[in-house]
Chains A and B, each alone.
Chain A
Amino acid sequence: MENSGKLKDRHILIALDESENARRALLYAADFLGGTPGFRATLLRIIPEPPEDYFDSDEERNKWIEDRRSTAKEMLENYRKILIQSGFREDKVDVLINVRSCPSVAKCILDEQKRLGCCTVVVGRRGISKKEEFIFGSTSNKILHNGKNCAVWVIE
């Protein structure tokens, strides 16, 4: 008899950029979850739209965005392969590049978590100094403080 109460996959959101700490977060998730059934993962790269003030023309700004998008695409494809090699099924790993106006990257990540219904957010942490956190802010700390209805894994 077919089981009508099919289990829903647990959906993990792994927020990434080109940093080494993001790579560590991805490798941790691959090592920890790879081969375990019942999980799916979305690899997310948020690219905050830069204000027009930094560019002399729209063309220059668009090129900046496209360059970042292209780098992100390549990075996420590589990371997708790593997850698959670790045991994730191919159809259980998605990649998502989100270019948007983004005063806070943490908020953008949590918006995606909510939209996709992810139960866990995985991020890396750079280990910034107190003064850097004061002036620049910390994405991982903000996710820790503001994440709702999800677990947050901060990988150092």
Chain B
Amino acid sequence: MVNNHNAVHAEKPGQEDLRDMIARYLPPERVPKKVKVITDTSDFFRVDYDDVVVLDGRPYLIRNYEREGRFSIDEQPKFWVKRAIDLEDGSLKIIKMVFSERFRAKVGDMIFECVRSSKKEARILDLVRGHPNFMHGFSTRDSTGNIIRIIDYIPGITMDILISRLGRNHEDYFYNYFPSVFVDYIELVEAIAFLHRHGEKHGDIRRDHIIKDKRGGRYRWIDFDFNYWHKENMFGYDLFGLGNVLVYLAGRGDVTTQYLGHNNQAALQRLTIDDMNIIFNNRVVNLKKIYPYIPDTLNFVLLHFSAGAEVFYDDTGQLLDDLNEARDNLNVAHDSVREE
């Protein structure tokens, strides 16, 4: 539920007070001479570095905007998402302002009706309060009623970057790191199952929407403001996302036909179209054909996301059943990755 203690009802801090507060967290030469105070964030392009956004009477010093992208290229600036310092306690926050958009997303050759909704994210923030596998925060309204989400900053790196750094090669990674990663992945699937049980989708499940929190080492889902217009299977696209993450983890990255063409022609020759991702035809899902030491029970799960699949997971419960069986067959204890 959105916090309705509206900023217009709260006392706006004065310039002196704000400068004093900013001076607690910035060196003197960085404290702005005049502080621009914003209570209406409708035009988020006007919310700049060093401005102070006041929400519920609480001042937040705006820092840089966030970016989003994959593979560190084509990163898109998200001008409506700013880092900020909570000037009352010095904590780092992510302030997400309202950027409503409806659009048609294309995944492979399939079209999705999508929406970016601050209402949805606000609702889920309430739902996952205290849950260790999600970002935390709360929502409130600015002076004109925009739903603003104030998210606790998570120090850490995204799961895709972390995985790419583990192990000397795939075999080393698979035997020495993957069992632990896999247990963490199951925990992440259980977190999504929690959302689904409450009738909510994540909406944008991607490996770079998972951050490994440095404080304690838990993986946490971020960014759940997307929703898609589902058809028969409300959670189908979430399940597809979970499958893609799993294949990425098991393969220590995407194993593509392009990669194999350069590095493993023999393996490439063994593949058929049935071995590929059901949507992305250049990504190998039947990883056992590339890495024969992958256990059958794990590969069985992967194959549910392949073009050759005859049955699909209807829900996270079915996926979790198979994941737990695969974990038992990996037969390695959850160990040190969390403490790294």
- Asked if A53 and B117 sit within 8 Å, CB to CB, the answer is yes
B307 cross-chain contacts in A, Cβ below 8 A: 130-131
Counting chain A CB atoms within 10 Å of each CB, the highest count among B233, B237, B314 belongs to B233
Main secondary structure of the interface of A (DSSP, over half): helix
Asked if B260 is an interface residue, CB under 8 A from chain A, the answer is no
- Asked if B234 and A103 sit within 8 Å, CB to CB, the answer is yes
- Asked if B110 and A135 sit within 8 Å, CB to CB, the answer is yes
Please tell me the number of chain B residues within 8 Å of chain A, measured between CB atoms. 26
- Asked if A135 and B102 sit within 8 Å, CB to CB, the answer is no
Known A54-B115, A130-B278: A137·B233 in contact at CB below 8 Å: yes
A135 cross-chain contacts in B, Cβ below 8 A: 107, 110, 233, 236-237, 240, 279
Asked if B64 is an interface residue, CB under 8 A from chain A, the answer is no
B292 cross-chain contacts in A, Cβ below 8 A: none
B312 cross-chain contacts in A, Cβ below 8 A: 133-134
Within 8 A of A (CB), among B206-232: 227, 229-232
Asked if A106 is an interface residue, CB under 8 A from chain B, the answer is yes
- Asked if A142 and B232 sit within 8 Å, CB to CB, the answer is yes
Asked if B120 is an interface residue, CB under 8 A from chain A, the answer is yes
- Asked if B231 and A51 sit within 8 Å, CB to CB, the answer is no
Known A53-B119, A56-B100, A103-B199: A134·B234 in contact at CB below 8 Å: no
Known A130-B307, A131-B278, A131-B279: A53·B236 in contact at CB below 8 Å: no
Asked if B108 is an interface residue, CB under 8 A from chain A, the answer is yes
Known A103-B199, A134-B278: A51·B232 in contact at CB below 8 Å: no
A132 cross-chain contacts in B, Cβ below 8 A: 110
Within 8 A of B (CB), among A138-155: 138-139, 142
- Asked if A53 and B227 sit within 8 Å, CB to CB, the answer is yes
Interface string of B79-107 (1 = CB under 8 A from A): 00000000000000000000010100001
Asked if B309 is an interface residue, CB under 8 A from chain A, the answer is yes
Known A131-B108, A132-B110, A135-B110: A52·B232 in contact at CB below 8 Å: no
B229 cross-chain contacts in A, Cβ below 8 A: 50, 54
Interfacial residues, chain B to chain A (CB-CB below 8 A)? 100, 102, 107-108, 110, 115, 117, 119-120, 199, 227, 229-234, 236-237, 240, 278-279, 307, 309, 312, 314
A sample of 11 more A-B contacts (CB under 8 A), given A130-B278, A131-B279, is A50-B229, A53-B115, A54-B115, A104-B233, A104-B234, A131-B307, A133-B312, A135-B233, A135-B240, A136-B110, A137-B314
